[in-house]
Amino acid sequence: MMQKEQSISTINPSASPASRLSTKKTSRYLPLSRRLSKQHTQVAKKIHQVGYIYALHGLLDGGIAAYGSMKFFFDVLFINQSSTTLIHDWLQTPEGISIALAEAMAFVGFSLIANMSEENATNAFRRAAASFWPYCRSAVSELKKTSRAVSNTVKIASFFKEQNLDYAMIPFGLTMGAVSIVNRVWFRRMQNQRQLIKDRLQALLKEISAISENDSYDPDKLQGYYQEIPSQSKNQQKFAYVSAAYTGLMEGVAFYIGILTFISLTSPAFIPLAACCLTFAILSIATRIHEEYEHQRELEVHILIIKLRLKQKEVAALTATTVDIKENSTTQLTHLYNEIFILSKELDDKAITLFGRTLKATRQGLSVYAFINKIILGATIFFSAVPIALVISSVGIGISILLFTTIKAVMKQIKESGKNLNGELVLVNNIPAMINQIVDNIIQIHLPIEKTRSFWRSWFDVAWAFFSGLDKGRKNIGHLLMVSFAERSLHDDYMQSPIMINLSIALGVLSSIIFSLRTYAMAFGTNEDNESEVKNLSSLPAATL
């Protein structure tokens, strides 16, 4: 805090003692998140600038991807046997160790280059690696999720059918794995294309807003802007909804319904727990569809705002060229006003509703629940049989989180709906000026605000990376290669031998540190907003002084 106060005083050396005292009081009323961010941001920035953490993350991430792709096929092809044991035996063969090493070198090398490069790198290979690796990593991640979803589906179906359905695992697993890869790659490519469209729309809006009155005199130039407005195709929008629904289905079965495999069908708690888990799965699908709707809605809002801004410029051009032709001017102004009214009505239809905000909050709640559920179920390694109380508490926590996020969203929507727009419409005799004011007010209401990651959300991502690293440490190709040298004859269950347990713990801790530091560096080390804190001190409410 002393450093901040010194920087404030150096801005105005001639400030009076009273004003400096006022500034010190103001600094104490800075939000807690800003004060904490100021203290640790230098460390994060140094980690980011050094860059070693990205290289280490690339090595681990590539190893995890290699492990995930290998384990998927063993899980699908040999459902009744331990995949770890099978991989161990396979790695004892010359063919197995050769394939595993080749796969590990390819994944790790590719990941390392991609993590140390950027998509705009001068080297063509580095640029290709940085662009292609996210697709490869997403495909492997989708395979792991699909493997869990397929396994949970087969187990639960076996409960109800009272027969072994493992024979369906191979065709069902391979088919769903292929569909999941295609879905994930297509959806990520579509997201990148949509981001390019969004960037182009924002640039186009700035360009149109900057048109001077002299430029507005050219009607052909204004009409040409309508042809430059990019948009998504209808087919792409429809497929995006199907893709989002499929993603929600896989997540629902993998993360929320899978907990039912830990309890018996005859347990009294099975039916209420099954109802809750099924609700979670349905909400997962609904929220994913709504998430896609929000992305498309935001894109359409940008397009409507650009059209409104163009109509505003047309009004300016019309009033500048038809000053002396009042009757014709009034007719054209009426036509433009009707078009503006239609566009504003479309914008009102695209406004955020209570239902939409509730679904968005539910999506956030499901993410938090998945994170907590991961920690709770991670404790199952310490039990020979999962206690029913642990399963019930996990579902209970999920219900509590969803209720909390939903209530919070409803309260926020009610609070915002009661707010009035700053400033009121001033009725004037000059109709073009009034239309211009109406357009400005409409744009001010509906223009999407650029979303910035909050301080607490950034720390949540760091915590998520930490606990995720604990689980991924033992799911690494390096771990498997070390396991391959363990002698099964020396220990009946070599995975439970002290050296293997210590190895798993060590790799888990190492992965946790690297994953969390990488997320920490990306969240706070690239943040340049801290320097604006001093400038924002004077804008605090007077009540805080």
**Secondary structure (DSSP) of 97-112:** HHHHHHHHHHHHHHHH
The span from the CA of 51 to the CA of 134, in Å, is 19
- Tell me the pTM: 0.77
Tokens 């569809």 correspond to 289
For the segment 440-473, what is each residue's pLDDT rounded down to a tens digit? Answer: 777 777 777 666 666 677 787 888 788 777 777 7
pLDDT score recorded for residue 97:
83
Task: Tokens for 143, please give them.
Answer: 């395979």
pLDDT score recorded for residue 243:
95
pLDDT score recorded for residue 543:
32
* Contact (Cβ atoms closer than 8 angstroms) between residue 70 and residue 119: no
Tokens 């499929």 correspond to 246
* Contact (Cβ atoms closer than 8 angstroms) between residue 140 and residue 181: no
For the segment 481-511, what is each residue's pLDDT rounded down to a tens digit? Answer: 666 666 554 445 555 666 767 777 788 888 8
Helix, strand or coil for residue 453? coil
Block mean pLDDT (10 aa), the chain, length 545 = 40 46 47 62 82 86 84 78 75 84 86 78 77 85 86 82 75 88 93 92 89 66 85 93 94 86 80 90 94 93 90 78 56 80 86 85 87 69 68 86 87 67 47 72 74 72 80 67 58 61 78 88 69 34 32
Tokens 């991989």 correspond to 87
From the DSSP assignment, how many helices (H) and strands (E) are in the chain? 20, 0
**Secondary structure (DSSP) of 47-88:** HHHH-HHHHHHHHHHHHHHHHHHHHHHHHHH-TTS-HHHHHH
Q: What is the DSSP letter of 484?
A: T
pLDDT score recorded for residue 259:
81
Tokens 């046997």 correspond to 81
pLDDT score recorded for residue 462:
85
- If one counts every other C-beta atom within 10 angstroms of the C-beta of residue 442, the result is 21
Amino acid at 163: Q
pLDDT score recorded for residue 3:
42
Kindly list the domain boundaries of the chain, sorted by start residue: 1-30
pLDDT score recorded for residue 288:
95
Q: Is 452 left (phi over 0), alpha (psi -120 to 50) or beta?
A: beta
List of residues 6+ apart from 234 with CB closer than 8 A: none
CA torsion angle 125 182 64 521 (round to 10): 70
Of the CA atoms within 13 Å of residue 370, those in its CB half-sphere come to 22
